[in-house]
Amino acid sequence: MTNPRIVCIVGASGSGKTTLIEAVVPALRSKGVTVATLKHTHHRLNLDVPGKDTWRHARAGAQQVALVTPTATMYLDYRVPSGAGEIASRLFAGADLVIAEGFKWSPLPKVEVFRRAHSSSPICLEDPHLLALVTDDAVDWDGRVFGFGDVDGIAKLLIHEPALGHDGK
């Protein structure tokens, strides 16, 4: 298996990153693309239940713990990753494309979601890894700009963009 293509969807809180991902994933899937997602947060979360078996395994020193049920698998990795690229290659080797929500300061290709109602200007215009803006406003930028309704255009960008690695499906 090869490392998957990865793109970060970035933008201010409340700008519509998750909503965009919810629209683009089905469009990609309909084109035969296997998609995985990765969400970054600055909040500390307790993802396991203290006292339960998986928590006890980790507390005993296991660096990786998985809980398998008939409908899903929960995987916890207690090793500190170096970034989204390492996480994607570690967890999603079978995916064609990983969409990472967040990781705006990473050196990975990114698409910024910008709504003037949530911030005064885009945050990544000077980033050489910025592939496109998705916006509801006019922005003074020479790069690719998509409206929120152009889900098919955004999906095509994510499939065929050379900066993401090999040509998609």
**In CATH, what is the architecture of 5-43+79-164?**
3-Layer(aba) Sandwich (3.40)
Domains in the chain: boundaries: 5-43+79-164
What tokens were used for 83? 């970034």
- When pLDDT is cut at 50, 70 and 90, the band that residue 44 belongs to is low
46 contacts 33 by C-beta, under 8 angstroms: no
162 contacts 141 by C-beta, under 8 angstroms: no
* Mean pLDDT within 17-45: 89
Q: What is the pTM of this model?
A: 0.84
Sheet holding 130-135, edge to edge: 35-39, 97-101, 5-11, 110-114, 130-135, 144-146
- When pLDDT is cut at 50, 70 and 90, the band that residue 149 belongs to is very high
* Mean pLDDT within 14-26: 95
Of residues 50 and 156, which shows the higher confidence score?
156
Q: Is the pLDDT of residue 166 over 60?
A: no
The percentage of the chain sitting over the pLDDT mark of 70, rounded to a whole number, equals 91
Structure letter (DSSP) for residue 31: T
Structure letter (DSSP) for residue 130: E
